[in-house]
DNA sequence: ATGAAAGCGCTAACAG
DNA sequence: CTGTTAGCGCTTTCAT
């Protein structure tokens, strides 16, 4: 029993493809197809469990009802949760998510971008690691429906959903200092994206405000290629240099560090304070205690969806830049 | 500057679509296209940055290079991680993942299943909440490339990647008893899937082996529709009835319960032991201490990929059932 | 060494 | 009220 097409159905019912197509698309009344014919078609379709071929429809209509969701790592809870929210928002509109993880790799990102565009996704939502890439430039040039989130390149005008990084990080770090931290290290992924740079700026700003001397040695950079090992090494360095607080620029390394602390430095978990950008549920009961900056993921998803829908409906992009305020979670 | 098609290119180069298509598909030599023509085409294509339309190709070839990944919740770390591994495995083959979350809702699952099939996904990997559904039955009937994981229906013959549930849970619970737990409650999502039933069986079996009287009242069921609230309620019931251990049939409710304990029953976190099917990283340092059953997610992803590729290459399904042994993580 | 033409399954303007 | 037909962009057989 091979798959039936509209043609088969039309043939078997002694009707034309057009009539069948109209009825299936609920244009039966509008197109003045007789009730009788409509019923005949609908009944038959149900009986043989006809399934329309979306690919053919997509080709014809130049629209796939698919959104590409491109992030560094879909299994990172931050991206996974946003993905889930996007899926929910798009569900009622009949859009689905095609996912891709770039591993913070510029080449892979470019490849995925191209593949997704070839697959004719209707829009892209991406946390890019290289907004200046040629692929992205040419997408922007043709006004491809595109929204960036989590990462920004101030030199590139586009749609962005971002959170405020600098002040938020400053506030979090100041909070730690107020709670008595005196020597604060920082661990970050390679800060070649703007948001990380700003978070580091915020850290520096807090030190300055609170009259704590800034020490370049206390800023530790973890290479994107082996995050686990890198975090382990840098955390060790900081602990041996006697810090009483460690600031992390994203959840991924913070989570790894919490694990490391509980595994190798159990005796210190009560004497060190953590500060992390991005919140994850387990911070609520983790040791070391974590002051975190929670990004409003529901808003990020909501605005992304809205902008995309706006573009898709109006066919023109306005290059909105939305900056959301994250929430400081203290846990003192 | 609108999108160029093969036709445009052929036209602009004074060649036929055929020739261009051959060259683009690296069949230039095989088809005896002159080097000169080949170079002309390749150069031009690069210059105008031509991007082939995968949808048209898919329609023609009846193959989309897309795999549908259907799970209860893509933001659950267990499913997110497997998703990531699948993505990696399929990456080199040029396959991408279309994702869908069913929320354990039978209707939504059926809808998603249909939509994905309409979209002509080449195969489906699904953690189904209702394997006996009509949609699934008809897919199996036409031998659609399909592998189930995490959930099984013994009455339905199909490809399954599973883990052993009963003995593994028994071992975990016995371990808790050996570590001195005497009154063990259990919290589970509605056990209408076979794997959950088996995990509950394992719990009962352990009690029996260890001569602990079974008390129906200590088995608490959380409704799928409001998991957070449900877990809160059932955990309260158990704690008030004086249990010294709580067994969870999956990670989702265990993670919620850990949060609840640390938020509302902080004084008890050292006096209660948790046992959970599914492992998550934070169990390594969570209180209450958790004995967990870790599913081999890398193997789950690997075997799923292999079976799918097998089917896709050979065009025949063998209905393999693979049962993997999970790993007990003790943390005493 | 290259081209014409059919066809994948669907939609929709136009015809009758 | 229903059918004919062209065409979305691509592959591929067959012809030249």
**Best to test chain A binding among B67, B72, B74 (most A CBs inside 10 Å):** B74
A219 strand-pairing partners? A186
Nearest-Cα distance to chain B for A78, in Å, is 9
Q: Which nucleotide is nearest to B50 if distance is taken from CA to C1'?
A: D9
Q: Choose among A98, A259, A261: nearest Cβ to B281.
A: A259
- Residue A2: which residues within 8 A CB-CB, separation 6 or more? none
The Å distance, CA of B24 to C1' of C4, is 19
Q: Is residue B263, in this structure, part of any structural domain at all? A: yes
Q: Is residue B278, in this structure, part of any structural domain at all? A: yes
**CB of A84 nearer than 7 A to strand C:** no
Nearest-Cα distance to chain B for A25, in Å, is 15
Q: Does B142 sit within 8 Å of A52, measured CB to CB?
A: no
B40 in contact with chain A, both atoms CB, cutoff 8 A = no
**Residue A2 pLDDT greater than 80, yes or no:** no
**Are both B263 and B207 inside the same structural domain?**
yes
Residue A47 has a pLDDT of: 86
Chain B residue at shortest CA distance from A53:
B118
Residue whose structure tokens are 């409003």:
A296
Q: Choose among A75, A118, A285: nearest Cβ to B80.
A: A75
Interface of B with A in 57-76 (CB under 8 A): 58-59, 64, 66, 73-75
**Are both A159 and A170 inside the same structural domain?**
no
Q: Is residue B1, in this structure, part of any structural domain at all? A: no
Please provide the average confidence, as pLDDT, over all residues in chain A.
92
Question: End of a domain among B15, B34, B52?
Answer: B52
Q: Is the pTM of this model over 0.85?
A: yes
**Are both B255 and B290 inside the same structural domain?**
yes
**What 3-state DSSP class applies to A29?**
coil
CB atoms within 10 A of CB B38: 18
**Best to test chain B binding among A119, A137, A279 (most B CBs inside 10 Å):** A119
- Return the sign of the alpha-carbon dihedral for residues B2, B3, B6, B7: negative
**Are both B173 and B283 inside the same structural domain?**
yes
**Are both B83 and B197 inside the same structural domain?**
no
Residue B81 has a pLDDT of: 96
Range of the domain at A286: 166-294
Question: For strand B245-248 and strand B184-189, is the pairing parallel, antiparallel, or unpaired?
Answer: parallel
The Å distance, CA of B32 to C1' of C4, is 18
pLDDT in tens, B97-145: 999 999 999 999 999 999 999 999 999 999 999 999 999 999 999 889 9
**Residue A220 pLDDT greater than 60, yes or no:** yes
CA B18 to chain centre: 42
Query: What does the alpha-carbon distance between residue A92 and residue A321 come to, in Å, rounded to a whole number?
Result: 26
Whole-angstrom CA distances from A198 to A192, A193, A224, A276, B233 are: 11, 9, 18, 14, 43
Chain B residue at shortest CA distance from A281:
B259
Residue A199 has a pLDDT of: 96
Q: Choose among A51, A118, A258: nearest Cβ to B118.
A: A51
**Are both A136 and A239 inside the same structural domain?**
no
Q: Choose among B52, B74, B281: nearest Cβ to A84.
A: B74
Segment of A311-320, B34-43, B51-60 carrying the highest mean pLDDT: B51-60
Q: Is residue A1, in this structure, part of any structural domain at all? A: no
Q: Is residue A199, in this structure, part of any structural domain at all? A: yes
**CB of B33 nearer than 7 A to strand C:** yes
Q: Is residue B332, in this structure, part of any structural domain at all? A: no
pLDDT band at B78 (very low <50, low <70, confident <90, very high): very high
Structure-token pair, residue B121: 């996904």
pLDDT band at B332 (very low <50, low <70, confident <90, very high): confident
pLDDT band at B317 (very low <50, low <70, confident <90, very high): low
- Of all residues in chain A, what percent are helix, strand and coil, respectively (each to 5)? 50, 15, 35
- Alpha carbon distance, N-terminus to C-terminus of chain B: 66
Domain tally, chain B:
3
Residues of B in contact with A286 (CB under 8 A): 282, 285
**Are both A239 and A226 inside the same structural domain?**
yes
User: Which class for A7: exposed (0-12), middle (13-18), buried (19 or more C-beta within 10 A)?
Assistant: exposed
**Best to test chain B binding among A80, A117, A288 (most B CBs inside 10 Å):** A80
**Are both B289 and B192 inside the same structural domain?**
yes
**Are both B180 and B280 inside the same structural domain?**
yes
CATH of the domain at B302: 3.40.50.2300
**Are both B132 and B171 inside the same structural domain?**
no
CA B151 to chain centre: 9
CATH of the domain at A17: 1.10.260
Q: Is residue B330, in this structure, part of any structural domain at all? A: no
**What 3-state DSSP class applies to A110?**
helix
Report chain C positions within 7 A of protein CB atoms.
1-14
pLDDT band at A179 (very low <50, low <70, confident <90, very high): very high
**Are both A283 and A234 inside the same structural domain?**
yes
**Are both A219 and A155 inside the same structural domain?**
no
B56 in contact with chain A, both atoms CB, cutoff 8 A = yes
Q: Is residue B221, in this structure, part of any structural domain at all? A: yes
Nearest-Cα distance to chain B for A188, in Å, is 21
CA A72 to chain centre: 8
Chain A residue at shortest CA distance from B51:
A118
pLDDT in tens, A281-331: 889 988 999 999 999 999 999 999 999 999 998 866 689 999 999 999 999
Chain A residue at shortest CA distance from B74:
A84
Residue A315 has a pLDDT of: 66
Residue A305 has a pLDDT of: 96
**Residue B315 pLDDT greater than 70, yes or no:** no
């Amino acid at each position: 029993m091979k798959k039936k097409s509209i043609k088969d159905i039309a043939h078997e019912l002694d009707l034309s493809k057009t009539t069948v197509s109209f009825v299936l698309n609920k244009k039966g009344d509008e197109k003045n197809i007789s009730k009788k014919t409509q019923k005949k078609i609908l009944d038959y379709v149900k009986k043989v469990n006809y399934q329309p071929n979306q690919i053919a429809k997509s080709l014809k209509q130049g629209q796939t009802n698919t959104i590409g969701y491109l992030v560094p790592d879909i299994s990172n809870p931050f991206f996974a949760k946003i993905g889930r929210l996007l899926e929910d928002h798009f569900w009622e509109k009949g859009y689905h998510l095609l996912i891709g993880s770039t591993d913070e790799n510029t080449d892979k990102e470019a490849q995925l971008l191209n593949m997704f565009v070839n697959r004719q996704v209707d829009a892209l939502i991406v946390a890019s690691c290289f907004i200046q890439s040629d692929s992205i430039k040419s997408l922007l040039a043709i006004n491809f429906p595109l929204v960036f989130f989590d990462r920004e390149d101030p030199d590139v005008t586009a749609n962005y959903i971002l959170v405020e990084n600098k002040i938020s990080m400053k506030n979090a770090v100041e909070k730690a200092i107020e709670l008595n931290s005196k020597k604060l290290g920082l661990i970050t992924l390679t800060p070649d994206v703007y948001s990380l740079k700003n978070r580091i700026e915020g850290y520096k700003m807090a030190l300055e405000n609170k009259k704590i001397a800034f020490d370049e040695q206390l800023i530790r950079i973890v290479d994107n290629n082996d995050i686990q090992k890198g975090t382990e090494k840098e955390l060790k360095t900081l602990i041996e240099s006697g810090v009483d607080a460690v600031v992390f620029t994203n959840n991924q390394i913070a989570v790894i560090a919490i694990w490391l602390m509980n595994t190798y430095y159990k005796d210190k978990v009560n004497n060190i304070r953590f500060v992390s950008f991005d919140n994850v549920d387990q911070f609520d009961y983790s040791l070391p205690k974590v002051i975190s900056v929670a990004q409003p993921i529901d808003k990020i998803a909501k605005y992304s969806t809205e902008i995309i829908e706006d573009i898709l409906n109006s066919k023109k992009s306005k290059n909105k830049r939305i900056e959301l305020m994250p929430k400081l979670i203290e846990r003192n």
